[in-house]
Chain A
Amino acid sequence: MNTDLLVPLLAAAIQSGTPILFATLGEILTEKSGVLNLGVEGIMIVGALAAFVCAKLTGNPLLAFALAGVAGMVIAAGHGVVCLWFLGNQVVSGLALTIFGLGLADYLGTPLIGQTAPGFGKLSIPGLGALPILGPIFFQQDLLVYLSVGVVPLLWAFLNKTRWGLNLRAVGEHPEAAAAAGIDVLRYRWAGVLGGGFLVGLGGAYLSLAYTHLWTSGLTAGRGWIAVALVIFAFWRPGRALLGAYLFGGVMAFQLRLQAIGTHVPSSLLLMLPYALTVIVLVFASWKSRQANAPAALGINIEPQD
């Protein structure tokens, strides 16, 4: 494979990895606070729909992008109410949220199918975009790709270098100890759930604002689940999430290009690649689980202290 094919493939890998990256970062934030939210797929698709509707009505893609985050927060708040207030089972609540989100978006979005909305186009960074090879891969993407990459160091710095981030991690590791140290455990968990929902919603918006400018039911097509798996693959680290998301994006883009080149491998086998990789990733992650860095109190509800 020469550079003529490799460069567009890598550029496509970044593009199809970006929605997964947003969602993975969001889920990392939520899980770091000790809450497991399996509703990523449902939150994502509601975000995608909110962004599409807003872009269509206002013609302002940036506003639409932000609104998708808010919509994600609203849906994620449902998970917060069930698990943080009523101490419901986090796995069941998350699954219910996925089903609810998919159904809601399907119901509300049906009249919009087949319509287009304004979104983001390619934005070449002056100077860097003109570089050979690196330019087309990294610096001729759309605005949202740059934003998603920017979130990675921000999230890392928040979790590792700020007092709030350390408190949030303490809540995820050992809520009783955190409470004893005077940390308002419930408030940090709420922050984790809502902040994570915001980022996941943005991931959905990428699909309807930049990846395509169309709406369809089931637009997310399982990307939310891949994000949940990638959190484990990334060992809850934002930097590894970037790597994992682009790896998955690359595999998705690769199988289509392999067909276009004219390979004789049956297309059914090629289509299995992203899912086969998911399985391999999970096996790999549990094999190295000792350094997996999972929050110790993940998925465990906390009783009110008063």
Chain B
Amino acid sequence: MNYRKLLMLCLALTAVCFLLIACPEKPEDMTPKVERLEKENAELKQTVEQLQKENDELKQQLKELAVKMEVKELQVGFVYVSPIGDAGWSYAHDKGRLFIDKMDGVTTSYVESVPEGPDSERVMLNMARKNYDLIFATSFGYMDPMLKVAKKFPQATFMHCSGFKKSENMGNYFGRMYQARYLSGIVAGAMTKNNTLGYVAAFPIPEVIRGINAFTLGAQSVNPDVQVRVVWTKTWYDPATEKEAAKSLLDVGADVIAQHQDSPGPQEAAQEKGVYSIGYNSDMSAFAPKAHLCAPVWNWGPFYAEIVEAVRNGTWESKAYWYGLENGIVDLSPMSAMVPADVQAKVMTEKEAIKEGTKKVFTGPVKDQAGQVKIAAGKTGSDGELLGMNWFVEGVIGTTQ
């Protein structure tokens, strides 16, 4: 009996042991724990998501703050009518572009050799669509296309060179190149031996006629007997024709050749003949070192910088910007050593006088070719008269047709 009891106890203990061992392995008992863990997991996921969301929001705020703190990045586009390597008009503008490209927060780009008309409109439209803030178009024929594009993109600022139209967000600008031409005329008038100057000119438009008149007045100021012979080429950049035109002037006795052309063709002709020349746009002495006396030059950099600052500060206004020697937008390149010191000194005095405003290039009495007084004694030509100039002063030989 005792043995049986012991056996029973043993069996019972064994059964309890089995139970104890088997119990934790039962799946039904795991369910609540798994459920709890899953719940915790979901809660954690939610927290992470929330944190990520908060993080993103903070990042966004940080970005916005950074943008506010930085100088506004200004996108400036330039449209050129000819290749920038032409040593002429577009080359001078591109030097101005490179000047502002160095400023902080300014990025520039350009398109060269853009024909005037519909092609130019497409180029400007493209720039405006890419959110350019400021667009400069540097040829007369871009005027109407630019006006159209400016109306479609009121948030951008447009600047047109050498024209006369403007709108709320489009202004126009130019330089008083005639002032520098007057100075170059003094040099030519002093250097000529035959009293005959040759002038190779592009098109009979007021800009060019004004330059020829100023050049003539400058030459006459030091040499009253001088005459200026003009040949029209009807091209802006055609080295062969422009050189031939200069040669035709040399054949009729001109011994200083000036030009309103973008190619250095006339400079070459003067050097081959062994006479003097006056360049244009930029210092052309590299093309004719033995002939080149000086050149009226463009210096757009400081002006472009001024416009960029004005646009950035919101002080830009739509108007006609017509600056001269006083702002450095036009200048005379350094004179060659062939120009005597007294002539150089005279040019410098006149330059200062024009800068200070005590001297005006077109001061009466100024007569036209027929001898009629166009600007009366004691008067100076108004900007309106200068912009519409279509007559030659006395001493010019040629027609304005």
- Chain A residues near B251 (CB-CB < 8 A): 4-5, 8-9, 12, 257, 260
In the complex, the answer to whether A259 meets B244 with C-beta atoms within 8 Å is: no
A interface, CB within 8 angstroms of B:
4-5, 8-9, 12, 16, 110-116, 121-122, 207, 211-214, 216-219, 221, 252-253, 256-257, 259-268, 271
Is A267 touching B232 in the complex (CB atoms < 8 A)? yes
Would you call B87 an interface residue if the criterion is a C-beta within 8 Å of the partner chain's C-beta atoms? yes
Question: In the complex, are the beta carbons of B244 and A113 less than 8 A apart?
Answer: no
A221-B238 in contact (CB<8A): yes
A216 to B268, CA, bound (A): 15
What B residues does A268 contact at CB under 8 A?
234, 401
Within the complex, what minimum Cβ distance (angstroms) separates B394 from chain A? 14
* A260, B244: Cα distance in complex, Å: 11
- Interface-central residue, B83, B204, B233, by most chain A CB under 10 Å: B83
Which of A5, A112, A261 counts the most chain B CB atoms within 10 A?
A261
Q: Which residues between 184 and 203 of chain B lie within 8 Å of chain A, taking CB atoms?
A: 198
Whether A113 and B243, one on each chain, are in contact in the complex, defined by CB atoms closer than 8 angstroms, is: no
Residue of A nearest to B397 (CB): A262
| Closest A residue to B244 using CB positions | A256
| Given A219-B239, A219-B240, A260-B252, also A12-B85 (CB < 8 A) | no
The number of chain B residues touching the other chain, given as a range, is 35 or more
| A110 / chain B contacts, CB cutoff of 8 Å | 83, 85, 112-113
Q: Residues 221-240 of chain B: 1 if any A CB is under 8 Å from the residue's CB, otherwise 0?
A: 00000000111111001111
- Decide: B263 and A214 in contact? CB cutoff 8 A: yes
A114 engages B247 (CB within 8 Å): no
Task: Say yes or no: B399 contacts A267, CB within 8 Å.
Answer: yes
Q: How far is the CA of A207 from the CA of B238 in the complex (A)?
A: 11
Residue of B nearest to A269 (CB): B401
Q: Are B85 and A212 in contact (CB under 8 A)?
A: no
Q: Which residue of B lies closest to A265 (CB)?
A: B399
Establish whether residues B268 and A260, one from each chain, have CB atoms under 8 Å apart when the complex forms.
Answer: no
The winner among A4, A112, A262 for most chain B CB atoms within 10 A is: A262
Q: Are the C-beta atoms of A114 and B91 separated by less than 8 Å?
A: yes
Interface residue? B287 (CB, 8 A): yes
Task: Let me know if B232 and A212 touch, CB within 8 A.
Answer: no
**B249 CB within 8 Å of chain A:** yes
| Chain B, range 251-267, C-beta contacts under 8 Å to A | 251-252, 254, 263-265
Chain B residue at minimum C-beta to C-beta distance from A220: B240
CB atoms of B244 and A12 under 8 A apart? yes
In the assembled complex, the Cα of A8 lies from the Cα of B401 at a distance in Å of: 26
Contact A207 B234, beta carbon cutoff 8 Å: no
B239–A212 contact, CB under 8 A? yes
Q: Contacts A8-B251, A260-B198, A262-B397: A214 and B265 contacting too (C-beta < 8 A)?
A: yes
